[in-house]
Amino acid sequence: MRYLMMSKVTDTTPEPDEKLYAEMAEFVEELSAAGVLLATGGLEPGGVRVTSRGDEITVTDGPFAEAKEAVAGFALVEVRSQQEAIEFTRRFRGIVGDGETVIQQVFGP
C-alpha cells in the first residue's frame, strides 16, 4: 500500500538547523535502505493554483493568503498498512517537532 504523507506549514513550524538536517538525513537513509521510501522532498511556498469552473480555467500565481494551510514537504512510502504509515509519521513528527502531517492512501498503479 502506498501512502502520501504531507507536512503542512504551521505557526509553530521551527526553522531548520544542522541538528534537524542530520536527524532527517538519518531517518531518510533508514527508510530508503528498508525499501519503504519511494520519494520525498520539500515544496516551494508559492506555487501556482489552477482552477476550473465550466469552460473557464483560471491560473493564479502564489504565494497565497492561506499559506499556513500549504503543504511544505512530502514523503511517498510503500508500507504494509496504514498503521505502519502512521508510525513512520510519528517518528517524523518526533524529529521535526510541532506541526501537522496529513496521510492519504495513494490508489492506482
Query: Residues 35-51: pLDDT tens digits?
Result: 999 999 988 877 888 99
pTM for the full model? Answer: 0.82
Burial class (CB in 10 A: 0-12, 13-18, 19+), 6: middle
pLDDT digits (tens, 9 = 90+) for 40-82: 998 887 788 899 999 999 998 887 766 666 788 999 999 999 9
Residue 42 in grid coordinates: 520539500
